[in-house]
Structure 1
Amino acid sequence: SVEVVEEGELFQIHEHPNPQCPVGANIQAVLEVILHRAQTAMENVLQEIRLHDIVTTLAQKIEANRT
């Protein structure tokens, strides 16, 4: 499943940064684009993975550890 957490955002940024702080006042704008790109990339990768592939790989690892 690639459904993301609450409100469609995987990453959460502090909701009430200090507006008097130079970092706090600007960090959300800087990170927003980066985190959106990261989330999109992760969703794209996960869309290609099938449960069947995970189960098959897991079974192979279990079998390999038995020998």
Structure 2
Amino acid sequence: MKVREVLRLLNDDGWRIVRIRGSHRILAHSARSGIVVVPGSPGDDIPPGALHAILKQSGLEKQR
């Protein structure tokens, strides 16, 4: 899955980019605590382990 697709999923769920540090996008949710870090450029593929961690941290893993 591409970084662009993951960002779209998170954005649709209410996560917003609060800052960018290099190629890492840090997202926060207005109703949930914590942050989610998405590494890489928009066209890059996210490794399976990182994708699993992002979905788990964001709570999207339970919805799928």
TM-score (norm: length of structure 2): 0.23
**Structure (1/2) with the larger helix percentage:** 1
Q: Name the larger-Rg structure.
A: 1
**Structure (1/2) with the larger strand percentage:** 2
Which of 1 and 2 has higher RCO (CA within 8 Å, sep 6+)? 1
TM-score (norm: length of structure 1): 0.23
